[in-house]
Chains A and B, each alone.
Chain A
Amino acid sequence: MSEMIAQLVGVGHQYEEAPEIFKGVTFNIEKGSFHFLTGPSGSGKSSLLKILYLGLKPTWGSIHLFGEDTLKMKPSLLPLLRQKMGVVFQEFKLLDHLKVVDNVSLPLRVRGVEAKRGHKHAQELLDWVGLGDCVESYPQSLSGGQKQRVAIARAVITRPQLLLADEPTGNVDDEMAMKLLHLFEELNKMGTAIVIATHNSRLLKMFPYPQLAIQEGTIRKLPTKVI
């Protein structure tokens, strides 16, 4: 039996007076797996990712992450679980007062890695995503696509056990989207479980990984498509 990274059992969520967005969602994410999280806009892809990175508490159900029951664990464990994850936020969440290189190396710094070493790693990743000449820039001076690549570099710099990406190719051209997906595949080959929320059907066709499809508040696991 493969090692479980995340187990969601009967998870449901409701934003106050609004109707519930999930009804008993149950699925597992195994170590080294690759999933696309699909569904139409507003179906709750981002909310489900938010629940996975513990930014949102579900109204019902239980979540086990890295073997910990997240609803019963000590609050002090939360940062330790998050340190095992990398998240690409849809709205990037870059820190505007820090240089690009500092933004990318931030997760390493938070884990106590020396600044010089962190900068070296960040430089390598930025070169890889084609932003090697933007190291000293500030996020405000970057385009949407560039910001997205910086956000991806920040999410993968720690080689997390679980990578959650919310529309990571939404602001980049096809060529860059392919390049980024290949980066995710490389990470996946090194053992990182990957969940990418997207509604880009072209990407889904080109990378035939299993899909977790949100439909009417429930989730269906679609098998790997063979081209």
Chain B
Amino acid sequence: MNNRQDLPLKNDIAARFVPKIVALMVYLGTLCFVFTLFMIHSTHSWESQFSSDLSIEIPTFPGTPSGMLQSRVLQLLNNTPGVRHAVAVPQKDMANLFHSILGEEVNIDLLSMPVIIDVTLDGKKMIDTKSLEAHLKNISPHIQLLDHRAWHSQVSSLIHTSVMLALLITFLVLFAALATTIFATRTSLLIHRQIIEVLSLIGATNTYIANQFQTNALKQGLIASTLGSFLAFLTFLGIVILLEKIGLPFNINTSFFLEAVCIFMLAPFLTAFSMMLSVRWAVMRALRL
């Protein structure tokens, strides 16, 4: 391919604003995509930690042993169809949980901590929670059955909707960048119509003319999107450092970090390639009309 430029595309009015817009769009797009990735990672992590479907709370009263109640409840659960697994949360874990809420200085032994039994259901079988609750009340009217599935499902659906929205915004940003490039190309075609006419009259094929535009778009796209992606990477690093300093409970693991870096590295190439194809399409279409 002859890369020499016969069209003065570098001096275009379009050439001045397109790289700035593309850089901005790539900046926003990559950040949005990395944010989406972060949400996907966090959701997976949360969902893997969240194994219990039901919780049974057996209150304890000072001077009353809860061991008997606990074993009766566990026996009931193990004989209930649809229950895969039922286990009492260790007292040490409960103590840690209370300490994290009330502070380390609180003496947990003075509190009457309930016994919590985590129940994992067999997803393939149905369970009658009303009947189970009635049986539990027969053992002790103070026993509480907490069904986490409804709110878990609501939170999951909210997170998935947010992920889809974030992805949609990412694609809209990319679409806006490509649309801007196409509009700028059409402006360029109008600005250089006389030169294009001369090229056409001396035997230049549409492909030859389109090559001039697409080569320019590829160069512009690579420079602008590399800048945009690099700035987005700096912003991402800044956010990571800030979150660590503040101590917010966000889990930025190595796998997510590496994937994010890959996105920042691939974004310029994908953007430039998309720009090149869009410009080629716009020029070939305009020349065919």
> Footprint of B on A, CB under 8 Å?
53, 55, 75-76, 79-80, 82-83, 85, 87, 89, 93, 95, 97-98, 102, 106-107, 109-112, 115, 154
Contact = CB atoms under 8 A, between A and B. Distances in A.
Given A79-B205, A107-B203, A109-B2, 12 more contacts: A55-B201, A79-B204, A79-B206, A83-B203, A87-B201, A93-B198, A97-B8, A102-B6, A106-B199, A109-B6, A110-B204, A112-B2
B208 A82 contact: no
Contact of A115 (B2, B8, B208): B2
Determine the main DSSP class of B at the interface with A.
helix
Contact of A110 (B11, B194, B203): B203
Contacts of B190: none
Interface string B170-202: 000000000000000000000000110111111
A18 B78 CA distance: 98
B6 A82 contact: no
Contacts of A98: 6
Nearest to A89: B201
Contacts of A111: 203
Nearest to B199: A110
B2 A82 contact: no
A50 to B, nearest CB: 10
A95 B202 contact: no
B288 A75 contact: yes
A5 to B, nearest CB: 16
Contacts of B8: 97
Interface residues of B, number: 19
A98 B198 CA distance: 13
A106 B201 contact: no
Contact of B202 (A87, A97, A102, A112): A87
A154 B8 CA distance: 19
A154 B202 CA distance: 9
Q: Which of B11, B197, B198, B199 has the largest count of A CB atoms less than 10 A from its CB?
A: B198
B92 interface: no
A110 B195 CA distance: 13
Contacts of B203: 79-80, 82-83, 85, 107, 110-111
13 contacts: A55-B201, A79-B205, A82-B203, A85-B203, A93-B197, A93-B201, A95-B6, A97-B11, A102-B6, A107-B203, A109-B4, A110-B199, A110-B202
Nearest to A79: B205
Nearest to B3: A115
Contacts of A75: 288
A89 B4 CA distance: 24
Most buried by A among B6, B8, B199, B202: B202
